[in-house]
């Protein structure tokens, strides 16, 4: 496959995180136990989003990227580049997203 045919997901992830972080309001999420555990874990590391719903959507976006065959380390690097998170918190965010929403990617 030619290099020009390879789809880069980095811009998609960057835009998703930028929109989620910049969101100023969203409808309240009706969180279940998984969402509650995810949100508590994210907050415990000082990772802040504009709303709970924005955090949950970003967690699912991590899973979407992994479903496309991306490596967790590459997704964490993209999170670092497209947010104000350092490498540790970006890696934690990817890990907690996997644990909550796509344990099939846990290895």
pLDDT in tens, 3-25: 444 455 565 555 555 544 544 34
CB distance 90 to 97 below 8 Å: no
Specify the DSSP class assigned to residue 83: S
pLDDT band for position 107 (cuts 50, 70, 90) = confident
Q: What are the residue boundaries of the structural domains of the chain, listed by start?
A: 50-106
Q: pTM for the whole thing?
A: 0.73
Write the CB contacts of 37 (distance below 8 Å, at least 6 apart in sequence): 100
């Amino acid at each position: 496959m030619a290099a020009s045919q390879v789809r880069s997901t980095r811009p998609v992830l960057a835009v998703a995180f930028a929109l989620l972080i910049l969101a100023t309001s969203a409808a309240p999420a009706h969180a279940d136990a998984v969402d509650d555990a995810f949100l508590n874990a994210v907050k415990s590391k000082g990772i802040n989003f504009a709303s709970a719903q924005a955090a949950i959507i970003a967690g699912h976006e991590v899973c979407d990227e992994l479903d496309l065959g991306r490596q967790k380390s590459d997704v964490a690097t993209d999170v670092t580049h497209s947010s104000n998170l350092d490498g540790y918190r970006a890696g934690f965010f990817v890990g907690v997203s996997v644990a909550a929403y796509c344990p099939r990617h846990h290895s």
